Amino acid sequence: MINLVPDEMRINNRYALRNVRLVRYTAVAILTMLSILAITGLSILNMNRTENTYQQQSEQQAQKLATYKPLQDKSKQLSDQITTINTLLARQVKFSELLPSIAQLMPPGAVLEDLDFTTSDILNTTTPAAGAASGSATSATQKPFILRAAVKDRTVASTLLNNIKTSKGLFTDADIVSVNQATKGTSTDANATPSITVRYPYEVTINAYLKKISPQQSTTSSQGSKTP
């Protein structure tokens, strides 16, 4: 079949057909863009509403939290005070428990002549390692606790020294300074009755080195026997 339509009209017809398709495409593109705009717009509106809700909630909570400020201050103050009390309790040295522990070291035939303690003799003010040191190193750096006891004889004095040395929970080391026979002329106590000098005629002086205890242990380390 011979197409007798002129060339120009034929080309126009072809473009016209293409244009119909293109118009459809354009419509679809416009619709797509409008849909995206609508969806996004609605979403952002919804998100704005949610944001406002949360913002209001946040403000209400901030107001509520502000009302708890005095409570917070009060609890902080109480907490600080309890911590301070706890610190004081941890540093406590119980002489009522320490005395029986020392008395228990006295062998038969020995009595204490006097005792002189201070908490600084016992509480560790340096590092725990320094307090745990023993032997000559301790003796070289630590002020001794002077223990004076009246004893029946020199053997009792040596037993007392051994008892002190083996009481690792209480003392780290001990040295006898002197063992003197208490006679009337040399007695340190003028009021001493004859009976005590007869029963305990020797006076032993011992340099004992108290075990430095860390504050946490101070209330528990000396819980030995309660009897003198």
Does residue 107 touch other proteins according to CB under 8 A? Answer: no
Diameter over CA atoms, the chain: 162
By CB under 8 A, how many residues form the interface with other proteins? Answer: 74
d(CA 92, CA 215): 7
Please list every residue from 112 through 151 that binds other proteins, using CB under 8 A.
Answer: 112-120
Cβ proximity to other proteins, 100 vs 175, nearer residue: 100
Please list every residue from 2 through 21 that binds other proteins, using CB under 8 A.
Answer: 11-16, 18-19
User: How many other CB atoms are there within 10 angstroms of residue 122's CB atom?
Assistant: 20
d(CA 104, CA 98): 10
Q: What is the residue whose two structure tokens read 């473009």?
A: 15
End-to-end CA, the chain: 139
Using CB under 8 A as the criterion, what x/- string covers residues 65-104 for binding other proteins? x--x--xx-xx-xx-xxx-xx-xxx-xxxxxx--xx----
Tokens of 140: 């070289």
Stretch that binds other proteins, among 36-44, 129-137, 138-146, 164-172 (CB under 8 A): 36-44
Stretch that binds other proteins, among 25-33, 139-147, 162-170, 171-179 (CB under 8 A): 25-33
